[in-house]
Structure 1
Amino acid sequence: MWWVVNSGFANATRGVFSIYFIKVSFYWIWEIAAVCFNLYFLMPRLLERNKVVPYILSVVLLVPLTALLITPGYYITAWVQGRAMRELWGNDATFWSLLLANPLPSVTAALTLGMTIHLARVWFKTRQHQQELEREKLETELKFLRNQFNPHFLFNTINSIFFLIHKNPTMASDSLAKFSELLRYQLYECNDREILLTRELAYLENFVELEKLRQNSNVSVDLDIHRLSGLKHSIAPFVLITFVENAFKHVSRTTGSPNWIKIGLDLAGDKLDFFVSNSTAADNRSEVIHYGGIGLANVRRRLDLLYPGAYDLFIHSSDSRFDVRLQLQLQNLIA
């Protein structure tokens, strides 16, 4: 206390305050105030309401005004230190030279950084919201798919089973059991985001067997699915069936050349390898291309939502055949 009285205020504070403490405080206080004013007042009231010109003018005024409020910190620091401005800040340390050299670019950088961080957060939240909307839309589409059957498939399958009752009662009974399993699965057993792979494959096999009843005898169907009983792998419902449905829809039905569908699936660790191929003819070439365009885009969108970065889809089309191959990492399914 006695030292403060005898040495004077300037000498006492010289030992307490760093040479840059007051100046830095001015920077922090006014730049934080400017950034907050921009983020929580100007942007919500002007920029987010599409008032771009008033917002730009406000920011143009805010930058020099904040710089003007910071510059006195240099003078107060010199006064507290008891030293001349030129001694601390150089021979050309005038008010305007200091403002233009330091506070003005510093305030500009602070506002730019604050806006960048804020806009990045807004973009991230918007992207998350869009992804949530996409998932909700996808779930709605899946629910619609579960509750809707192809009327032609239903009618033709029932009709085929009806004729089998008199021709081959045993085969008719087996087909009716498969048809019942298929209906039960589609109505009751696939309401979760993921189901056991074995259940999805059983549904696929039943679908193929029933489709065989509807096909002409000149269409051969080769189904090669390795038995995966006991495995606990899961998969999103109806991911695989789309490719199989389209193979039956677009397979060639010519009389002078073989008509065929080949379906195969293998599982190595957690990686599923699924392929579907079918013969094509010139008369349904445009339909196949349509499937490879708009239809493929819809399939890819589903896979992007359910398995982002965890799948590879290969499509190859020629004059005589159409090939699809899907490789999937099952453990990466989004919950």
Structure 2
Amino acid sequence: MAFVPSKQNWFVRYKLYHIPFWLLYNYIFWALYTGSLYEAAHEQFFSVFWAKSLFYTIFPALAVYFNLYFLIPRYLQTGRYGWYVLFLVLIIIASSSLIVPGYYITSWLDGTNAQKKFGITSDWNGFYQAVRTEPVKSTIAAITLGMSIKLTKNWLETQKRQRALEKEKLETELKFLKYQFNPHFLFNSINSIFFLIHKNPDMASASLAKFSDLLRHQLYESNDSLIPLKKEIDYLENFIELEKLRQSPDLTTEFNINDDYSPGLGIAPFILMTFVENAFKHVSKHKNSPNWIKMDLKIDRLALKMHIANSRADNDSQQAIHYGGIGLKNVQRRLALLYPERYQLDIQQTEGDFKVILELELSEVAVNPSLEFMEKQ
């Protein structure tokens, strides 16, 4: 399946709109400082003061970007507050110091010196006095504005994603009731258990218990946004055992999982189920060659990796299009909403098999100790 990049205006793609934003910001800043829109425009665009204004525009903007895209992700968001404050102070000092040469360049362009034009001497004391006034104020104001815009943007994106998740939850609840309660699966499972009652009562009893657990999970235990990973895996195992009853005896299934994962891991319900159901739905039904399904589930701390492969018929060209009853696009959309930037999905289709590799970054979910004790009894 080819990836087609979305068309985007080059002005937006390279964020060139930031340039007029900072020019406008610097103009408004000086207009408020001088108390005159005309004087601020004259100094910034129509006099030798353009050099000083350029320094006031470039270096506070660089300080803003360094803070937003380096200091905050690396130090503030990771709880290293002392280091963040230290580096932020250093950035403010560095930006303010780099603004001061704009005073000297402006004075040189005007044919005079900084002491006559701005009252700044050429020694270190004059440089220090210049740094601690307007340059510091300008840098702090720019950083504060940048953080406010970033926080507001993140809040709006979070609200938008939350609304999309709520809408998606309502839609997927109806879709999963429709597709997971597949009439063919239900009736075939019941019929298989019915015939087992006379042939193998013990197996019939065990299958009926699995069938009951599966329905309970679908009706009652999958209503939360996150459920314990163990419950989802138990559901998958029950589903696989019941599918094996109604599939041809020629089908070979293999399900491997490492069971040393933390009981506190949680996962969105039915995320894994879609791919397992699809494997059974589209597995080949050859008479003279093997029919197989192989499933491997590995959990390493918070990282989950699921590999599913199944043999397929040569004429089964619709598998990647109508995926698991709800469509491949819907599965990817649900993953993008529930696990933004925390998943990888690789789908491979060859002449003889179909493979899905899913990687997820799981979350911790609260486990009720009393419920866990009752389940062990």
Q: Tell me, yes or no, if structure 1 residue 280 matches structure 2 residue 312.
A: yes
Determine if contact 1:292/1:315 at 8 Å carries over to the other structure.
Answer: no
Query: Which sections of structure 2, spanning at least 5 residues, go unmatched?
Result: 1-29, 42-116, 118-148, 366-377
Q: CA distance change for structure 1 residues 23 and 157 in 2, over 3 Å: closer, same or farther?
A: closer
| Paired position in structure 2 for 1:10 | none
Query: Which sections of structure 1, spanning at least 5 residues, go unmatched?
Result: 1-19, 32-87, 89-118
RMSD (Å) for aligned C-alpha atoms: 3.5
Counterpart pick for 1:131 among 140, 157, 161 = 161
Counterpart pick for 1:142 among 172, 179, 189 = 172
* In 2, Cα distance between equivalents of 1:321 and 1:168: 34
Q: CA distance change for structure 1 residues 127 and 280 in 2, over 3 Å: closer, same or farther?
A: same
> What is the one-letter code of the residue matched to 1:296?
L
TM-score of the two chains, using structure 1 as the length reference? 0.61
* In 1, Cα distance between equivalents of 2:297 and 2:32: 72
Larger radius of gyration: 1
For 1:293-304, what aligned pairs fall within 5 Å after superposition? 295-304=327-336
* In 1, Cα distance between equivalents of 2:170 and 2:191: 31
How far the C-alpha of 1:178 sits from its partner, in A, is 0.1
Determine if contact 1:307/1:332 at 8 Å carries over to the other structure.
Answer: no
Q: Tell me, yes or no, if structure 1 residue 265 matches structure 2 residue 297.
A: yes
Deviations 1:258-316, CA, capped at 9 Å, x for gaps = 00001110111110111111001112223345439982221111111011001111111
How far the C-alpha of 1:233 sits from its partner, in A, is 0.6
Counterpart pick for 1:25 among 12, 32, 35 = 35
Q: CA distance change for structure 1 residues 233 and 129 in 2, over 3 Å: closer, same or farther?
A: closer
For 1:159-198, what aligned pairs fall within 5 Å after superposition? 159-198=191-230
Deviations 1:88-142, CA, capped at 9 Å, x for gaps = 9xxxxxxxxxxxxxxxxxxxxxxxxxxxxxx999987875554333212211133
Report how many residues are paired: 231
**Percent identical residues:** 48
Determine if contact 2:277/2:324 at 8 Å carries over to the other structure.
Answer: no
* In 1, Cα distance between equivalents of 2:176 and 2:32: 69
The range that moved more, 202-211 or 136-145, is 136-145
SS in 2 for 1:282: coil
SS in 1 for 2:341: coil
How far the C-alpha of 1:182 sits from its partner, in A, is 0.4
* In 1, Cα distance between equivalents of 2:223 and 2:172: 9
Q: CA distance change for structure 1 residues 264 and 121 in 2, over 3 Å: closer, same or farther?
A: closer
Q: CA distance change for structure 1 residues 239 and 22 in 2, over 3 Å: closer, same or farther?
A: closer
> What is the one-letter code of the residue matched to 1:136?
E
Determine if contact 1:196/1:232 at 8 Å carries over to the other structure.
Answer: yes
SS in 2 for 1:265: strand
* In 2, Cα distance between equivalents of 1:28 and 1:332: 58
TM-score of the two chains, using structure 2 as the length reference? 0.55
Determine if contact 1:146/1:187 at 8 Å carries over to the other structure.
Answer: no
> What is the one-letter code of the residue matched to 2:327?
G
Q: CA distance change for structure 1 residues 28 and 304 in 2, over 3 Å: closer, same or farther?
A: farther
* In 2, Cα distance between equivalents of 1:23 and 1:328: 52
How far the C-alpha of 1:21 sits from its partner, in A, is 10
Q: Tell me, yes or no, if structure 1 residue 241 matches structure 2 residue 251.
A: no
